[in-house]
Amino acid sequence: MRTATHHPLITAPCNLWPGPRPTSSPVLPSGSRRPRRGALVVRAAVVVEQEAKTKISLVRIGTRGSPLALAQAYETRDKLMASHSELAEEGAIDIVIIKTTGDKVLDQPLADIGGKGLFTKEIDEALLEGRIDIAVHSMKDVPTYLPAGTILPCNLPREDVRDAFICLTVKSLAELPAGSVIGTASLRRQSQILYRYPSLKVVNFRGNVQTRLKKLNEGEVQATLLALAGLKRLNMTENVTAILSVEEMLPAIAQGAIGIACRSNDDKMATYIASLNHDDTRLAVACERAFLETLDGSCRTPIAGYAHRDSDGNCVLRCLVASPDGTRVLETSRKGLYALDDMVAMGKDAGKELLSKAGPGI
C-alpha cells in the first residue's frame, strides 16, 4: 500500500497521486514510460526551494554599524512596520550594515580626514547601486547637497538637541580645575568650551558612545560631551552628569534629527518613508541647513545653529560661527513665520551676515 511521502522542504504530506488513488495501475499510452516513483515530490520540492531563494525583503535599510546608528535604523523599521501592514510580516524589512570612511579612520580628527559625507558616502553609493532601498542617516552627518539620483523626503520627530556633560569627579564644566582635559571630536564643542573656559584643554576623542565612555572611565580624559539625543536613543542617560542648555552650548546643525533617503525614481519607497515625516522637524532642519549651506561649512569650521517653534508658533533661529581655539565667536538670531520659504530665507540671511563678519580668520 502506497503511503504519504515527506520531503524535508515540504511541511505537509504529499501523496504521489493527486486526487483519489486508483484501485489498479493506470493504463499508459503505448510507448509511454511510467513516471519514476517520487518524481512529483522532487519537482514540488524544487519549486519550494526556488521560491525560498528568490524571496527578498520588501525594504532594505542601509545604516552604519555603530550601536547608535543601529538604534536609529531599528526605530525607522518599527515605525514602518506600525504604519504599513505588509511591512509588519517577518522578513519584510532587512537591515544592511555599511562601513563608512568615518567608521574606518578612527585615529585622526574628522577635520584632518577632510571632505564631506564622511559618514554617508558609502551608504549613498549602496543606495544608488540598488544594494539598499532606503538610507537612515543622522542629519548632522548629511552634507548640504544630496547625491544626484537621491531624495530625502523624511525626518523623524527630533530628539532632545542639547549636549550632555559627563564627568566622574565634578558636576559641571565650571567646576573643572584649570588644565583639566575634555575629550570631544567636535570643533563646535571645542570652540564653545574654550570660549567660556580658556583654562581647560580639549583633545580629539573619536569613537562611538560606548568607546568614549570607556576611555573616560579609564582616565584618558577628565570629562566628555555627548549629544543627549544619542544617549536617550541608547537608553544610557544614567551616565549623564549635567545637561547643558542651548545657551551654554549651541547644538550642531540638525542635531537630534534622523533623515531617511531613497532613490529619486523609487516612488514606492518615497511613499513609505514620506508617511513617517514629522513636518516641524523637517522645517527646522531645512532652516538650519540653509544657514550651513550659505556658509559652505565643513567639519573644519565650528558652526552651530538651532531653529525651533516658540510659544507663539513662530520660528526662532540662533546661529554661531567660531574659531577652533574659541578666541572668536560670532552669533546672530532671526525670528519669523514657521513656514518653509520663510525659514529657509532666515537661514540664508543669517549665514550671509556671519559670513561677512567672519573674514579669513574663521
Which residues belong to the active site? 141
* C-alpha to C-alpha distance for 6 and 192, rounded to whole angstroms: 71
* Bridge pairing between strands 303-309 and 315-322: antiparallel
DSSP state of 179: T
Secondary structure (DSSP) of 130-143: TS-SEEEEEGGGS-
Report the number of secondary-structure helices (H) and strands (E) in the chain.
11, 13
Closest CA to 316 of 293, 282, 292, 350: 350
* C-alpha to C-alpha distance for 211 and 326, rounded to whole angstroms: 26
Contact 84, 109 (CB under 8 A): no
Contact 118, 110 (CB under 8 A): yes
Place of cell 523626503: 153
DSSP state of 313: S
* C-alpha to C-alpha distance for 143 and 278, rounded to whole angstroms: 20
